[in-house]
Amino acid sequence: MAMIDSSIIEAENAARRADLAEDYDALGARLARRGIEIEALTARAVAFGVAVPSWGTGTGGTRFARFPGIGEPAGIFDKLDDCGVIHALTRATPRVSLHIPWDRADPALLREKAEEAGLGFDAMNSNSFQDQPGQARSYKFGSLSHTDAATRAQAVEHNLDCIEIGRAIGSRALTVWIGDGSNFPGQTSLSRQFDRYLDSMKAIYAGLPPDWRLFSEHKIYEPAFYSTVVQDWGTSLMTAQELGPKAQCLVDLGHHAPNVNIEMIVARLIRAGKLGGFHFNDSKYGDDDLDSGTIEPFRLFLVFNELVELEDSPGLDLAHMIDQSHNVTDPIESLIVSACEIQRAFVQASLVDRTALEAYRQSNDALMAAATLRAAFRTDVEPILQMARLRQGGAIDPVACFRASGWRATVAERRPKAAGGGGGIV
């Protein structure tokens, strides 16, 4: 049985339980003075979940090199084991997002393994940004927007295949991100290339089951460096609106120009009824795919501030997913920390005094409006996160518990040392 022994979690928690009780009571008293009921926040933390990307469990890499770690997952079943460990410790990652073809396997076995690890499946991810062995036509010059109709058809067929696999394992969404674009001015018709993309997406949309959604993920550049077909949220929104009600936009936090106001994009997409979900990560320069909350935690908080403010919007049903590349850390530890930081931003946003904020807005008191957000952001909600984990059987300190479990060394004995492995940057 490939799981962390619950007795290890219990022993680790026993050593921290008394401190947590004290910290939780103290925070509860502080929040009560602000008119906030701590149990309501803890209940929200318990209900919060974010999906883990299967590809995030292996060490990523850059354009230059990849440095494999020990005991890396050799395939999807190892990856699901690792995702199960992350959820067992954090209780905040109940689903996994698969990538086809990297995770292709017998759906019955996938379901069985996920059940064993206590997991479900989130959105499927297709891949037409690299060629696969034996593939008839190359995506070197594009996939869904290729000038050649047969290449476009091949890419459409692959996406329909992803839907089929997803149906068999209980997924209910497909995320499409393509690397299509151009590297030179004049290389492609900016308008006709987009038309071809839309036609291909319509063919995929036509193959969606009734209860499925299709997410369009934009990205400003890379691998194409002059133009990209779905370069920003405007193109993504046009796509989703043209396709129909089951099509929505997915916002990857790393897929924008530096300093772009992502929380505004979030607010606009919700207004349009077209925000479908997120790929969480953090960045300093570009699509760095760094651990969530490690570079700009305030920006993450501001995104969640919009989500909480607008959470009662009709039909809002967000697929929260992580999309990161872990190059210098143990991927399990990075995913644990990231899930906790995303949950932290959600809880902090949940304690914003929205009545006061709205009054400051109405009276144009900019200083106090900003102070109201800061008061929430500065509140250390760690005891709430710890209590949410403890009550669900998770670890008060999940990274310490993971290290105490010796998981990585144990799996290293049975997992072959990885040389290459699937990439991690989408």
Q: Are 126 and 159 in contact (CB under 8 A)?
A: yes
Say which residue the tokens 């410790």 belong to. 89
Q: Are 375 and 327 in contact (CB under 8 A)?
A: no
**Contact call for residue 330 and Mn ion (CB under 5 A):** no
Element (H, E) at 331: helix 331-350
Using CB under 5 A, count the residues that bind Mn ion. 3
- Cβ neighbours of residue 363 closer than 8 Å, sequence gap 6 or more: none
Question: In angstroms, how far is CA 109 from the centroid of its own chain?
Answer: 24
Which residue stretch of 70-78, 133-141, 206-214, 315-323 sits at the interface with Mn ion (rule: CB under 5 A)? 315-323
Q: What count of other Cβ atoms lies within 10 Å of the Cβ of residue 192?
A: 11
Q: Which of 213, 279, 299, 389 binds Mn ion (CB under 5 A)?
A: 279
Distance in angstroms (rounded) separating the CA atoms of residues 132 and 102: 10
Q: Are 212 and 164 in contact (CB under 8 A)?
A: no
Choose between 88 and 290: whose C-beta lies nearer to Mn ion.
290
**Contact call for residue 99 and Mn ion (CB under 5 A):** no
Distance in angstroms (rounded) separating the CA atoms of residues 279 and 125: 12
**Contact call for residue 323 and Mn ion (CB under 5 A):** yes
Which residue stretch of 296-304, 321-329, 382-390, 406-414 sits at the interface with Mn ion (rule: CB under 5 A)? 321-329
**Contact call for residue 82 and Mn ion (CB under 5 A):** no
Q: Are 200 and 157 in contact (CB under 8 A)?
A: no
Which residue stretch of 60-68, 245-253, 263-271, 286-294 sits at the interface with Mn ion (rule: CB under 5 A)? 245-253
**Contact call for residue 289 and Mn ion (CB under 5 A):** no
Choose between 113 and 326: whose C-beta lies nearer to Mn ion.
326
Choose between 278 and 402: whose C-beta lies nearer to Mn ion.
278
Which residue stretch of 49-57, 113-121, 288-296, 318-326 sits at the interface with Mn ion (rule: CB under 5 A)? 318-326
- Find the shortest distance in angstroms from Cβ 279 to Mn ion: 4
Nearest to 2 by CA among 114, 121, 169: 114
**Contact call for residue 256 and Mn ion (CB under 5 A):** no
Establish whether the linkage from the previous residue to 101 is cis, with ω within 30° of 0. Answer: yes
Which residue stretch of 12-20, 291-299, 323-331, 385-393 sits at the interface with Mn ion (rule: CB under 5 A)? 323-331
**Contact call for residue 78 and Mn ion (CB under 5 A):** no
- Find the shortest distance in angstroms from Cβ 233 to Mn ion: 14
**Using CB under 5 A as the criterion, which residues of the chain lie in contact with Mn ion when the complex forms?**
252, 279, 323
